[in-house]
Amino acid sequence: MLLAFLLAGAATAASPTGDRPPGEAASIQSWVDAHPGQMVFVPAGDHVISRPIRLTTANSGLWGPGRIIQSNAEAAIVEIEGAAGVQLRDLTLTRAAGAMETTRFGVSVRRSSNVVLSNLQVLDNWGNHAAVQVNECNDVRVSDCLIQNYSRIAVDDRTASPLYGYAFNCIDGHGLQVRATTAVTVRGNRIIELRMLPTPELKAKHLLGKWIKKNEQKGRVMSQKTWDAGYTNNWHQGAAMQVTGPEVTDHVQILGNYVENAAQGIDIHADHVIVAQNIINNAFMGMKAMHGSRNLVITGNQFSKNDLWSIGLMPGASAHAAAEATGAKRAAGANVDGYTLIANNIISDFGYGNAHWIWEQEPGSVAPIRFDRPPLPENPALTDVLIQGNIIYDTGRDQVLVDGKPRVEPPRYRYAVRVEGGPNAPRGLRFSNNLFHPGTDGVSNIELNSN
């Protein structure tokens, strides 16, 4: 009785329903505007909107069992901007048939602090950006949410970059994207893609990887062979979780999430990050950290059915050494990669994911753990990584029985660990107490330093 009374009181105090559920966004928005600084209850039922619901006052928010359906493909579902203490809880946020393919976010959080997104379902926001984006914020918690079906067919246009200079057809879209944000916790979420799987049929239908624009000048990081071919095999873009904003994004916890059928499971361009107890299932990249990502702890994760690599550390074009002030140019601190711990992770079923058919033609690029060199001579090397207590398990050795004997398949990788050489090659890698099943050519392409 007491619980029913409290719920009834909450719904009466700030509910847009009256005797009937709201129809247009004006109904919910008017109650949000009429109750600044309060949580507005959204009751069970479908609430169709055509404009984004905007939360712009401190301590406001939405909660309840209702389902908010955006009927306009050119509008976000919920926008939080310039407000502290906002909460979204327990809602289902989705799009109507015919409006699922979009260039807008499902949930957008901008320039806000102490924001909580909890127990949401964000469904069928088929975008080339992100189903949920957090941008230029501080102190944000995203927990216990389901983000499902977030990708679409798109064009990745890199013609504005002197490093690349081309555009190509691709699958694109992020489940959750965090940009230029500090003090972030991402915990206990499920991010799953069920539609846009990298099949040969989908590639043929949409000409995925085919270049549709090309600059006159070859990009700096492009090989002449790739430039002449006009095709790229990394046409499955996006990430289940991307945490980006080199030199800004800092102090991030990615804990206990489940990812399924992503291009990249976790994509990090940030400092002071803990990646722990996550399950990355069937992503062609389990996780990578680059563009000046340092002081990471990657521990206790399960990487299953990855096809290119499970754990990859590599400098990117945004990495740079410290620089003194010269003329009008300010001094700059270093943005470097490394000083990282990789411990107690398990990598299994490597090469048994949906994207194996794409990468099996490039065995030199495939490895469960990969440490890479930077793309440009001026980028500093990856430095000082401690790798301990990890397991790389070759699933091919334990297959079904045929005529009473196990049918052993060779490993689907040449090396368990690959360390790229050349200018600015990784340095200061230290290995201890790992169990690495060798690939077809051995454990590593170099002698591992176990001091």
What stretches of 230-362 show up as alpha helix (H) in DSSP? 356-359
Is the residue at 21 inside a domain? Answer: no
Is the residue at 146 inside a domain? Answer: yes
Residue 428 structural domain: 50-444
At 14 the pLDDT is 54
Residue 415 in tokens: 């090396």
DSSP element (H, E) containing 311: strand 309-313
What pLDDT digit, counting tens, does each position of 31-80 carry?
Answer: 999 999 999 999 999 999 999 999 999 999 999 999 999 999 999 999 99
Is the residue at 166 inside a domain? Answer: yes
- Please, what sign has the CA dihedral across residues 283, 287, 288, 289? positive
Are residues 357 and 203 in contact, defined by beta-carbon separation less than 8 angstroms? no
d(CA 51, CA 63) in angstroms, rounded, equals 18
Q: Would you call 138 exposed, middle or buried from its count of C-beta atoms within 10 A (0-12, 13-18, 19+)?
A: middle
Residue 186: CATH number of its domain: 2.160.20
At 22 the pLDDT is 46
**E strands within 158-249?**
166-172, 174-179, 182-187, 190-192, 211-214, 239-244
**E strands within 50-158?**
53-55, 61-63, 67-70, 78-81, 87-89, 92-95, 101-102, 107-110, 113-118, 121-123, 126-127, 130-135, 138-143, 146-148, 152-157
At 323 the pLDDT is 82
d(CA 55, CA 83) in angstroms, rounded, equals 8
Q: Which residues pair with 89 in a beta bridge?
A: 63, 118
Are residues 316 and 289 in contact, defined by beta-carbon separation less than 8 angstroms? no
Is the residue at 232 inside a domain? Answer: yes
What pLDDT digit, counting tens, does each position of 290-320 carry?
Answer: 999 999 999 999 999 999 999 999 999 999 9
Burial code (b: 16+ CB inside 10 Å, e: under 16) for 257-292 equals bbbbbbbbbbbbbbbebbbbebebbbbbbbbbbbbb
Burial code (b: 16+ CB inside 10 Å, e: under 16) for 398-425 equals eeeeeeeeeeeeebbbbbbbbbbeeebb
Residue 283 in tokens: 């992503």
Distance of CA 317 to CAs 139, 163, 164, 376, 379, Å? 28, 9, 11, 7, 6
Question: Nearest-CA neighbor of 31 among 11, 16, 41?
Answer: 16
At 400 the pLDDT is 63
Is the residue at 179 inside a domain? Answer: yes
Is the residue at 19 inside a domain? Answer: no
Residue 289 one-letter amino acid: A
What count of other Cβ atoms lies within 10 Å of the Cβ of residue 331? 9
Is the residue at 363 inside a domain? Answer: yes
Phi, psi values for residue 26, rounded to 5°:
-55, -35
Is the residue at 164 inside a domain? Answer: yes
Distance of CA 107 to CAs 44, 61, 117, 125, Å? 20, 13, 10, 10
With a cut of 70, list the residues of the chain below it in pLDDT. Answer: 1-26, 399-402, 404-407, 451
Instruction: Give the β-pairing of 107-110 and 130-135.
Output: parallel
At 1 the pLDDT is 34
- Count of structural domains within the chain: 1
At 411 the pLDDT is 93
d(CA 252, CA 244) in angstroms, rounded, equals 11
Burial code (b: 16+ CB inside 10 Å, e: under 16) for 428-443 equals ebebeebebbbbeeeb
